Amino acid sequence: MAQQVLMFHIGTNNWQRQDEFAPGSGILHASMHDTFNSMPGVKCYSIYPSKVQTSPTDDHTFRVFKLDHDIPICESVSPNSSYRWHSMSEDQFTAYRKRLENEICAFMDEAEVREGREFDYLISHHAFTNAMTGAQIVERRSREGKSKLKHFNFVHGTALKMYIKEAEQDPEYPLRFLPLAQGHGVFNSLHGCAGVWVNSEDYILKFLDCFGTYPKDRCVFSRIGVNQKIFCPKGTTVEKDLEKYLRPEDKARLSGLGLKRVLTFIGKFADWKRLDAVLYAAELYEKTFPDLGTVVIGSGPPEAVTQYEGLAKSLGLQRIFFIGSQSQDVLADVLSMSEVGVFPSYKEPFGMVFIECMACGTPAIGAKSGGPTEFLKDAQGFLIDEEDDWRVEAGARRLGAKVSETITKALKEDWKGKTKGPSCVAFVRENYSTMAQCSTMLSEMKSWSRLPRPTCDYLLSDGRKVKILDDEAGIAGAVCHEFIAAANHAIAAKGAFSVALPGGSIVAALEKLPKGAFDPSLVHVFFVNERIGEWKCYKGVLKSLVTPHGIPESQVHKVTEGSPEEVAARYEALLRSQPPNVVTCNYAGMPSVDLVLLGTGEDGHVGSLHPNKNEIRLSGQGKAVLPINEGGKTSIAVSVDFIRSAKCVVLSAAKASRAPMVARALRSSCGAYDVPASMVNSQNTIWLCDRDSIKDYAAKAVFDPAVADMDSFWEIPGMKPGVITGDLAWALLRFAKAKGFAIPAINCTTTSTVNAVLEAASQINRPVIIQFSEGGSCFFAGKSLDNKKKQASVLGAVAGAHYVRAVAPAYGVPVLVHSDHCAKKLLPWFDGMLAFDEEFFKLHGEPLFSSHMLDLSEEPHEENIGICKTYLQRMVKVNLILEMEIGITGGVEDGVDNTGVGKDKLYSTPEDVWQVWEALAPISEKFLIAAAFGNVHGVYKPGNVVLQPNLLRDFQAYAGNKLGVGKPYLLVFHGGSGSEKEQIAEARRHGVVKMNVDTDTQWAYWSGIKEFYEKNEGYLQGQIGNPQGADKPNKNYYDPRKWNREAEVALVERVKVSCADLANID
C-alpha cells in the first residue's frame, strides 16, 4: 500500500467562492487543494485569508483566516484589495503573524485528531509572511515532539516584486520587509524551508538575488497547472451565450451591433496588466472588423475602473463590454467563445490566464516579458515585442498598435479554427494540468524530505553532528573554520553576523583566524557569560578577535555593572533590541544569534551553566540571560534556551579527561541536568572532539538511526523478521513515536496464542509485541509444576521466549518479547528471567528477551523509583529495555486486584513522571514509562473512572520545557481493552508507543470456541452420534485442532483490530 501523505497549505489570497473574485494565486491554491485531495493516499488541508468569506460547514478540509480588513497585498492592487503590507504598523504586522500561526496550529491539531496521524508537509504560498509563519510552525511543532513536518514554499511573483522595489529604494516601498525576511532565516538554508517552487524561471534568479545563500538546487521551476475539468472547450458561442454575461445596458444594444466574434482580456485593473494598450488596439481593429467585439473581465479599485471605462468612452469604442470579475466557470465559457485571448502584461509573474485560455482551445497573445516567455509557443499563440516607454500614452499606443496588428493576423489566418487553436488543449493537457504539477511537487517533497547527510563523523538521530579532529590544535582550526563559514553565510544572507562567545581556550583559538576571511565591519559580538566587574571574557575577545581584525568596538556588546539581576535584565533587553538582521527571535520569542561557541568542562558544564545548579533547571522558562550569585561572586550567563535558539552552536571537547562526559552527552537524546552539554541538542549543534575525548563514545558502537526521516520500519538499519532486542528494538519504538503509531502488546499463555498473534502481524506486515505475565508464564510451563519460588513462572517465560525466537522468523515480521507486570512480591520471577538474559547475552551478544516490566506502583514512590534504578543498572549491561509503572492501574490483572483503589491514585502528575526521568535517564535512555491517566484493567463500567489521555500531553510538556525537546518520554498505555478509539488516538499523539491488550483478546479467543460450539453443538455431545446419524463419528469436530484453530482465527482478527486502532498499519 502506498504511504499515506498528510499536507497543509497556507494560502495568501482568497479562493473564488461566496461571490468573491479570486486572483490567480488564490485560484491556483484552490486547484492544488482539490487536486491533491483527488490523489490516492493524499489528504490536503488548507487555510486562506478573507474579509468577506466564511469557513464552510460541509467541508472540514479548509478554513478561512477571517480578517477585519482587506487582504494585505505585497505590490499590486487587486479587485479585492489595495491594502498594502507596508501600511501596517509593526504591532499590527506582529499580531497578524502570531494570530495566523496560532490558528494554523490549532487547525492542524484538530485535523490530526480527525486523521489519526501527523502532518508530513507544510506548503506556504508566497515568499513572505506565510513562509516565515511556516518555518515558525515547524520549529514550534518540533518543540512539541512533532518532528516529521517539512516546510516548502511556492513563490509567487508579487512578493519578489515588493522585495526588488525595496532594494531599488522605490519611495512607495521603504526598505522594511526584505531585511526582515533575510534576518528571519526562512530562506537562508534548508533548515527553514526544505524546497522552493517558483512559477517562472525568470523569478528563480530574482529569488536568489534576494536570498543568496539558499541552495540553488532546491529552487525549481514548477509548471503552472489548471483544472481541466473547468477550463476546457465549452461549445459556447457569441450568438447564443454572450448576452447572459453582459450588463443590462449592454444587453439592450447587443442586437444592433451585428457581433459574430469576440476576443477577451482578463486581468485586474493594474497598470502593468496594460489594459490601456488593449483599448488603444480596439480603436484600430474595430474599424477593420465590424463584427468583432471585446470582452473585458476583471476589476480593481474604483478609480481604476473609472479610468479604464472612461478611456474606452473617450476612444469612441462601440463594441467593448466590461463585465467585471467573474467566476472560473464564466471565464471558461467566455474564453471558449473567443477568437483569441489578449493579455499583454508587463513581466507577468504568473501567467495562469494564458494556460486557462489555451485549455479552452483558444490561442493567446501576450508580450515578450515575464512568465509567458517560458511556455507560450508560436504553435499556440504569439508574444509581441516590448515597448520600453509603455507607461506614457505614446508608448502605450505603440504597444496597442502591435496588439492590433497581431489580432488582425490571428483573425485573417483563423488561428482559432485552423493553425493554433486545434493544438492548444492537447498542449495544456500534456504540460500544464494541475494533476501533472501536483504529482511532480509531491515527488519533489518526498525527495527533498530526505536531507543529505552532512560531512561529519557521527550524525545523531536528533540532528547533532560530531566531527573528530586529531588533537587540540585540530579543534582550534575547526573552530576558526566554523566561525568563518557562519560569518560569511550570515553576511551574504542578511548583511550582518552575530556571535556569542565565552572566555578561555575557545576565544584564544580565534587568534588563528586569517585576516580578510570575513568582513569585520559587519560582525556583532555578544557574551555567553561574564563575571561582573572583571570582564575577563570581554578582555579576551578584544585581544584575540576584535583588535586583530578591526571589529568596531561599538559592535562588541559589553556586560554592564550592577547587581546580577539588574545586569541580566539589561543584557537581555540589549539582545532583544537589536535590528532584525543582527538578532532575530525564534517562534517562542527567544533571541537568536547566528553562532554560539562553547567549551565544555569535564563535568559537562557549558559557559556558567553547571550540573544540577538552579541556572540549568531554569531552562524552558523563556529567560535569555540569567543572574548568578555564588559565594559573593556575581556573574551572568545566557540560558540553555538562548543557546538552543542560535542558528548554529559549536561545542568543543578535548583530552581523555572529558571522554566520559562526551559519551554521556552524546548518548543522551533528550539531555539531563547533570550534564548541561547534553541539553544543547538541537539540529544545528556541532561537536568538535579530538580522538581522546571521543574514545568512550566510539568504544561502543552507537546505533542511533534518524528514524523520523524513514518511510518504513524496514528502513531501520539491521531490521529483520524475528525477535529484535537492544538498539534495534529501541529504534523501532522510537520510529513508532516519530510516526505516531503504537505497537500492541498481546498477553500470550500458549503456543496457540503466540501463533495467532504472529499470524495477525504477518498478514498486515507490521511489528508486534508478545508478552508473558507471571501467571501466564506459569501456565505456559504447566500449572502442575511447583511455583512457590516462581521457578515455574521463570521456566514458562523462558520457554515462551525461546519458542517465539524459534518460530517468529517464519512469519516475516519483527517481534519484541516482553514480560508483563512484575510486582514487588514477584521479583524472584524477574530475577530468574534476568539471569537467563545474562547467560544468553554471553553466548549471543544480546538478551533472550527484548524488555521486562517492573510494576512497583503499589510501593512508595521513592521505593518504586529506587528499585527500578537498581535493576536498570543491571539491565543496561545486556542492552535490555525496562518498562516501569508509576501510578496505579485499576481493575484486575493477572490476579492483582486494584478495583478498590481510590480514584486519585489512578492519575500520575508531571512531577511524579519527571522524577522517574531524573533517576533513570543518567543510566540508560532505554526505558518506557507506564504513567497512570485513569487506566483500568479489564472492560470497566462507564463512570467508574474517567480516562484522561490529555495528562500524557502535560507530562511531555513539563519535561519538554525543561529539556528543550518535544515529547521526551516513550509511554505505555495499560488497560487498553475497551478504550475508545479517540482516546487511543490521543494517547498515540502524546508519545504512547506500546499498548497492552489482554481482556479483549482473551474474549476473542474464547468467542472463537464459543461460536464453533454453538454452530456445531449437535456434533459435540459424544464421540459417536450427530444430526447426520446415530452412528456417525464426531472426531472432526472435537479434535482440539478444529476448535483451537477457530479460537486462533478469532484472535487473529482481534489483534488486527488493535493494530488498526493504534495506527500500526501500512
- Please write the tens of the pLDDT for every residue from 791-839: 999 999 999 999 999 999 999 999 999 999 999 999 999 999 999 999 9
Which residues, 6 or more positions from 57, have their beta carbon under 8 angstroms from its beta carbon?
none
CA angle 952–954–958, rounded 5-degree value: 120
Average pLDDT over every residue of 1035-1046: 93
Q: Residue 433: its pLDDT value, please?
A: 84
How does strand 62-66 pair with strand 722-723? unpaired
- Quickly list H helices, 146-236: 157-167, 177-184, 201-210
Q: Are 950 and 969 in contact, with CB atoms under 8 Å apart?
A: no
**Distance between start and end Cα atoms, the chain:** 6
Three-state SS at 499: strand
Q: Are 981 and 1062 in contact, with CB atoms under 8 Å apart?
A: no
Average pLDDT over every residue of 276-295: 97
More confident residue, 708 or 551: 551
pLDDT(705) > 70: no
The band of 533, judged by pLDDT with boundaries at 50, 70 and 90, is: very high
Report the C-alpha gap between 273 and 266 in whole angstroms: 9
Report the C-alpha gap between 145 and 960 in whole angstroms: 8
Report the C-alpha gap between 95 and 93 in whole angstroms: 5
> Annotated catalytic, 271?
no
Q: Which residue has the cell 517492573?
A: 854
The DSSP 8-state label assigned to residue 58 in this structure reads S
Q: Which is nearest to 642 in space by CA: 612, 669, 680, 605?
A: 680
pLDDT(200) > 80: no
pLDDT(706) > 70: no
Sign of the Cα torsion 262, 268, 273, 276 reads positive
Report the C-alpha gap between 311 and 588 in whole angstroms: 53
Q: Residue 905: its pLDDT value, please?
A: 56
Determine how many CB atoms are found less than 10 A away from the CB of residue 2. Answer: 9
Q: Which residue has the cell 490530526?
A: 112
The model's pLDDT over 22-37, given as tens digits with 9 standing for 90+, comes to 888 898 899 999 999 9
Average pLDDT over every residue of 208-215: 87
Residue tagged active-site, from 276, 690, 820, 855:
820
Residue type, 928: L
Report percent pLDDT > 90 for the chain.
70
C-alpha cell at 481: 573554520
The DSSP 8-state label assigned to residue 392 in this structure reads S
Report the C-alpha gap between 766 and 758 in whole angstroms: 10
Average pLDDT over every residue of 82-110: 94
C-alpha cell at 468: 573528530
pLDDT(668) > 90: no
- Quickly list H helices, 495-554: 505-509, 536-541, 547-549
Three-state SS at 1033: strand
Q: Are 499 and 488 in contact, with CB atoms under 8 Å apart?
A: no
pLDDT(620) > 80: no
Q: Residue 281: its pLDDT value, please?
A: 98
The model's pLDDT over 451-499, given as tens digits with 9 standing for 90+, comes to 554 567 887 767 788 999 999 999 999 999 999 999 998 898 889 999 9
Taking CA atoms, 178 is separated from 88, 124, 128, 206, 760, in Å, by 15, 17, 9, 13, 57
The band of 683, judged by pLDDT with boundaries at 50, 70 and 90, is: low
Three-state SS at 938: coil
Three-state SS at 976: coil
C-alpha cell at 586: 525564534
Which residues, 6 or more positions from 833, have their beta carbon under 8 angstroms from its beta carbon?
794, 797, 798, 819, 848, 849, 852
Q: Residue 907: its pLDDT value, please?
A: 85
CA angle 857–858–864, rounded 5-degree value: 50
Average pLDDT over every residue of 858-880: 94
Class of residue 97 by CB neighbours under 10 A (exposed 0-12, middle 13-18, buried 19+): middle
The model's pLDDT over 590-615, given as tens digits with 9 standing for 90+, comes to 999 999 999 999 999 999 899 888 88
The overall pTM is greater than 0.85: no
Q: Are 62 and 56 in contact, with CB atoms under 8 Å apart?
A: yes
Average pLDDT over every residue of 225-238: 91
The DSSP 8-state label assigned to residue 2 in this structure reads P
Report the C-alpha gap between 649 and 1006 in whole angstroms: 59
The band of 630, judged by pLDDT with boundaries at 50, 70 and 90, is: confident
Top mean-pLDDT range of 10-19, 709-718, 941-950, 960-969: 10-19
